[in-house]
Structure 1
Amino acid sequence: MIIYKTEAEVALMKQSATLVSKTLTAVANVLQPGMTTLEIDKLCAEFVQDHKAIPSFYNYRGYPHHICASVNDVVVHGFPDNVPLKEGDIVSIDMGVILNGWHGDHAYTFILGEVSEEILRLVKVTKESLYKGIEKAIAGNRVGDISYAIQEHTERRNGYGVVRELVGHGLGRSLHEDPQVPNYGKRGDGKKMKENMVLAIEPMINMGTKDVYTESDGWTVKTRDGKPSVHFEHDVCVKRNKALILSDYSIIEAAEQANPHLNTSYYTAAVAAQ
């Protein structure tokens, strides 16, 4: 069942989403080679708790950490660990909070230092595809319109693998609500979107094959061919003419660009999508 929100509830959800963005900004301020993802996990947990909120991933269906930290060929649900990050790693941080009873949940991929042009393009195209999906999140369209826009930009235009097993979702008082939002599909398919449906739209895009597998821990999802994967996610409220993005990448990007250890060169036209 799809749960539509009131304007007051959307405003509360924006606060939750913005707290996730502020937490990811705190990560962007300090992220560098030599750090461990367990250190990032601790930073995020403390930041959220200091802001009187609850890290929503911790113990969710038994998940043992506060964030998902997915490095290189890990698609999603990577466990934070004590392995120092190194130059050339790409690190996706996915996390959620509960604030005033409402969930915020989104993700951002960071690049540590110098990487190949190929990886820069993958990050750029995946991030672009998120916004192409969001453009379709307007009342009267169908969920498949979002799915098609993401797949068109990543798979059809750029030859990347679009993960099938994992999808975006509705968001509200529960971390996962209806409807599911796949990153592949046909225009005109799926549920018709109405105003104040809140969605977590999250392309998970692989450089190589779309095929993935889950490790023995029951959580960590990796690419089948060992090539890197990128994950971006926004919280979005469906509106009549233009979707309202509840989360805020601008503060993350400002911190990212100010951190000399993080690579933002994909922002330039030099690595534009083909």
Structure 2
Amino acid sequence: MYCTQCGKRINKESHFCPFCGAEQRQRNTDESKDIEETKVGASEENTEDESSSSVAEDGQNSVEGSTQIKNETNSVGKETENISGEKANGKTKSSDKEEKNRNWDSWRSLLGPIYYFQEGLWKKGLLVLSAVLLASSILISLFPQLSVLWTFLIVYATTFEYTSSKDIERKKQDNETMWKELPSLFNKDTVAIVAIVVSVLVLIISSENAGKSQLEENAEPVVTEVLQDNYGLDYTCNDVNITEEYDNNNYRAAATLDDNSVIHVNIETYSGDRGNFNVQIPYEEAYLL
């Protein structure tokens, strides 16, 4: 070390110059430098520690963030699974309901009016049944050879199979209890009741007339057989028309022959079965021929 005053070399531990006696401040400066270096080192260590702490905190935050993201992902996954499960359950319930509806639809053609009553559409059900009865009556009148029972069942099943599903669907969509195309008069209770009563009476009358027509048609060859076999007359019966009904089993009829002559015959059925009958031609009627 050198003296700060005279510049001579002195011991570095000396506080005063032995040559000029000047106080030496270099040591203090060095000490200050050492202190500053120590502070700088400590600061750098603190900085390194803070950096390490920051890195550690960042790593911890990163881990926590990853854990949180993973938890959120798992939560979303579970929610998705729950939603998928609910949808699957919904689809299963919907499928079960559709299956039940299909099973019920198979019975709808036979239990049509009951189906309407169950859905609160009894007036519609009665009007549809009235239409079925009237349609059956018309068919029986036009084609007397048709079976009354089978004609009614076919029209009944076909009609209710189609109309019931349509009417229930219209109720669900538009809350429709009566067809909008019909006048409001048909929405009255009494109209539906009167319609079903009238249609039943019409069917009964049509059935009776159809039965008579079938009996008349079946009696034609029998009249011819009786004239030829019992009386030896060469006549053929072309038409039989029932003119009077004594009771449920006996009828009086006019038989038209091939020469346009008319004789009166008696027809007797057995136990109301018009398919099993007997034709009687009075002697005086045959004698006039």
> Which bin holds the TM-score, normalised by the shorter protein?
under 0.3
- Normalised to the residue count of structure 1, the TM-score between the two structures is 0.21
- Normalised to the residue count of structure 2, the TM-score between the two structures is 0.20
- Higher-helix-fraction structure: 2
- Higher-strand-fraction structure: 1
Flag the structure with more relative contact order, 1 or 2, with Cα contacts below 8 A and sequence separation at least 6: 1
**Larger-Rg structure:** 2
